[in-house]
Amino acid sequence: AQSVTQLGSHVSVSEGALVLLRCNYSSSVPPYLFWYVQYPNQGLQLLLKYTTGATLVKGINGFEAEFKKSETSFHLTKPSAHMSDAAEYFCAVSGFGTGRRALTFGSGTRLQVQP
């Protein structure tokens, strides 16, 4: 079985401050990890993904995430928050094999950016 835990359902930062959204996963097989963003009344947009290789992954809109196997973590960061980053962010995991192909999502973190 696989699961994702996102710490903090709401995170508030000031514009220009560091964004850190936490994600821990559980998987019995090597995981594939994803971060998605959802803006109001829209679908989910892929920010970045980790499959194999380099553990520091860069995505769109200045976001990046680091896969740490020893900590079973895949935290999302951005050096400087913009007002346009306000949205809900979902961490997700999938893997090989029956029952693991689909995405298992965390409960989401709503990011608020204060002016």
Partner 1 sequence: DSGVTQTPKHLITATGQRVTLRCSPRSGDLSVYWYQQSLDQGLQFLIQYYNGEERAKGNILERFSAQQFPDLHSELNLSSLELGDSALYFCASSVGGQGGQPQHFGDGTRLSIL
Q: Which two tokens stand for residue 39?
A: 């803006």
Residues 78/85, Cβ–Cβ less than 8 Å? yes
Tokens for 16? Answer: 């220009």
The residue whose two tokens read 């553990």 is 55
The number of residues that bind partner 1 (CB under 8 A) is 27
Q: What residues between 19 and 78 interact with partner 1 by CB under 8 A? A: 32, 34, 36, 41-46, 49, 51
Choose, by CB under 8 A, the member of 22, 86, 95, 110 that binds partner 1: 95
Contact residues: partner 1, CB under 8 A: 32, 34, 36, 41-46, 49, 51, 90, 94-108
